[in-house]
């Protein structure tokens, strides 16, 4: 198995639906909205096993000061293969000069994963942030 990575924002609704439902995210029930959302995102990095979409991360940003990472997910059949790690490295490479990169993990168990990339939790602030001030 060779995982290939892509910066495409164009996805087939069935691919998006299958990936999102594989991790039991309710947004997978709205593949049309997800397809349009990915197309309108600033950056999207996806992981593919042949023709199968197996991972994805997207970011929204203002082009200078702040970026928000959203939708980091990896198909459960492919977890443990460091796909999430590669997706994070690739998406973060777009934001080297930004003042802030933020993520709001929905599952507290994932905080340790994000801390490996420099994200920290700050008092009275629900997002984890990389500060480059």
Taken in order 20, 25, 30, 36, is the CA torsion positive or negative? negative
pTM above 0.85, yes or no: yes
Would you say residue 133 has pLDDT above 80? no
> Which percentage of the chain shows pLDDT scores above 90?
78
Q: How is residue 30 written in tokens?
A: 């709205």
Predicted local distance difference test score (pLDDT) of residue 71: 84
User: Looking at per-residue confidence, does 128 or 41 come out higher?
Assistant: 41
Predicted local distance difference test score (pLDDT) of residue 131: 67
What residue ranges define each of the domains in the chain, with the CATH number in brackets? 3-131 (3.40.630.30)
CA distance 33 to 47: 20
Predicted local distance difference test score (pLDDT) of residue 109: 84
């Amino acid at each position: 198995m060779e995982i290939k990575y892509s910066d495409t924002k164009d996805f087939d609704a069935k691919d998006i639906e299958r990936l999102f439902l594989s991790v039991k995210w309710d947004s997978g029930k709205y593949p049309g909205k997800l397809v349009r959302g990915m197309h309108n995102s600033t950056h999207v990095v996806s992981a593919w096993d042949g023709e199968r979409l197996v991972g994805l991360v997207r970011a929204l940003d203002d082009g200078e000061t702040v970026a928000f990472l959203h939708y980091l997910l990896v198909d459960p059949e492919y977890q443990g293969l460091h796909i999430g790690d590669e997706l994070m490295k690739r998406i973060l490479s777009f934001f080297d000069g930004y003042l802030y990169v933020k993520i709001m993990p929905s599952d507290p168990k994932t905080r340790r994963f994000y801390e490996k990339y420099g994200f920290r939790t700050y008092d009275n602030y629900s997002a984890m942030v990389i500060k480059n001030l």
